[in-house]
Each structure stands twice: as structure tokens, then as C-alpha cells.
Amino acid sequence: MDKKIVITIARGYGSGGKTIGKMLSEELNIPFYDREILYMASDDSGINLNLFQKHDEEINIGLFNSSTKKYSGNLIPPEDSKFTSKENLFNYQAKIIKSLAEKESCIIVGRCADFILKDYENVIKVFIWAPHDVCVNTISDMFAMSEKEADKKIRKIDKHRSEFYHYYTCRDWDNARNYDLCLNSAELGFDGCVDAIKAYIEVLKNVKK
């Protein structure tokens, strides 16, 4: 690529957003970051990796609902009792996301990266979604579960993602205004989504010449 670019991908569960991100990474030959950010944040902060993993995986509906703690960029020092709080775990992940955006072209999935990098240049913010029934079929087939179980899993995970996003950004996770591109993976297919993002990059290059 001629110029450094960062692509953030938020995605509905079952839409294939992570897979699309990996495919795009291979097409553009740039790094892809997801859970790797947890390891990097643990190394940087000295906080046990297990705490980052728990914060990342624990789907506790209601944990973030009805309250907000908008991300400000301030790190809590080790001597503070809130050093290992969920807010500071997020702060350190945000620090890593910023450092990656500053040094290289890359793709970052989830973790409110679109909001964290909202003031950075050359960031393309993407939201991948698919109709609920399509996601249900996808998750049902992927995990060999009933459609009822898949429906429950999707609703739970998407609700958590929505609450998590709102807690740290004070924004609505599925609001199209937060993103440059909102792509329906059921209509476009995974390859089509990759092509759409690549085409958008080319348009931006021409606009910014």
C-alpha cells in the first residue's frame, strides 16, 4: 500500500466480520489484530493476561447497561486501587490500538477501535452485519446447535457488545453514523465485502490526491 491506513471492523455476531477482516488482511498484506491486543496490553501494563481475557470474554448482560465511563485516554497508575479495574484494562488496550495505528497499516477488530481512533487520519471505520435469520443459521451450523440456542446466543453477545460500546463511547454501537461503511455480508458475501472495502480505499486515495 502506498500510504498507511487503518481499518477498524465492528461486527454483529454471526455476520462473518472477523473472517472478512482476516481475508482483507491477506488481500492487503497488512497485519490483523483481534485478541493479540490482549497479550500486548498485558505485556505493556504488567497486568496478568487472565484479567484481560476475563474482561474480554465475560458476557455479563447488565454489567455495562445504564451507566457510562466514556474513554478519555488516561491510564490509571499501578499504585492506584483501580489499576486493574475494567476501565483501566480497556485503557491499556486503547493505548495499544493507538500505538498500532501510529506505526503501521493494519486491521483491528472490535474493542471500540473506531471511537478510540476517531481523531486519527487515514482510518476507515467499518460495520459488518447480516439479517438475524442469516446469523442464526450461520451460528447454528457452526456450533451444531438448535436455531433456538443460536438465536439466544446471538442476542446475548450482540447485547453485550452494544452495552460495552455504549459504556466506553456514549454512542450506539449499531448507529451507521459511527462508521464510514456499513456492509450487509449476507447480500455481498464475504468476498464482496472485501472488494467493497478495497474499492472504498481506492476512492479515498483519489479524493485525497
Q: Would you say residue 29 lies in a domain?
A: yes
Question: Are 105 and 28 within 8 A, CB to CB?
Answer: yes
pLDDT of residue 57: 59
Residue 209 predicted with pLDDT over 80: no
- The confidence band for 68, taking pLDDT boundaries of 50, 70 and 90, is low
Q: Would you say residue 102 lies in a domain?
A: yes
Residue 138 predicted with pLDDT over 50: yes
Write out the DSSP string of 164-180. Answer: HHHHHHSS-TT-GGG-S
Strand 32-33 and strand 106-109: pairing? parallel
Q: What is the mean pLDDT of residues 136-151?
A: 95
Strands laid side by side in the 106-109 sheet = 32-33, 106-109, 6-11, 123-129, 181-184
Q: Would you say residue 197 lies in a domain?
A: yes
pLDDT of residue 135: 97
- Return the closest-CA partner of residue 116 out of 8, 200, 17, 33: 8
> Which residue type sits at 184?
N
Question: Are 172 and 162 within 8 A, CB to CB?
Answer: yes
- The confidence band for 185, taking pLDDT boundaries of 50, 70 and 90, is very high
- The confidence band for 61, taking pLDDT boundaries of 50, 70 and 90, is very low
Residue 197 predicted with pLDDT over 60: yes
The number of domains in the chain is 1
Q: Would you say residue 1 lies in a domain?
A: no
Q: What is the mean pLDDT of residues 86-104?
A: 93
DSSP 120: S
- Across all residues in the chain, what is the average pLDDT? 90
Which structural domain range is residue 95 located in? 6-207
DSSP 182: E
- Return the closest-CA partner of residue 11 out of 110, 96, 135, 124: 110
109-146 as b/e, with b when 16 or more CB fall inside 10 Å?
bbbbbbbbbeeeeebbbbbbbbeeebbbbbbbeeeeee
Alpha helices in the chain (DSSP H): 17-28, 36-45, 49-57, 86-103, 113-116, 132-143, 147-169, 185-207
The domain that holds 201 is classified in CATH as: 3.40.50.300
Question: Are 183 and 127 within 8 A, CB to CB?
Answer: yes
Q: Would you say residue 136 lies in a domain?
A: yes
Q: Would you say residue 27 lies in a domain?
A: yes
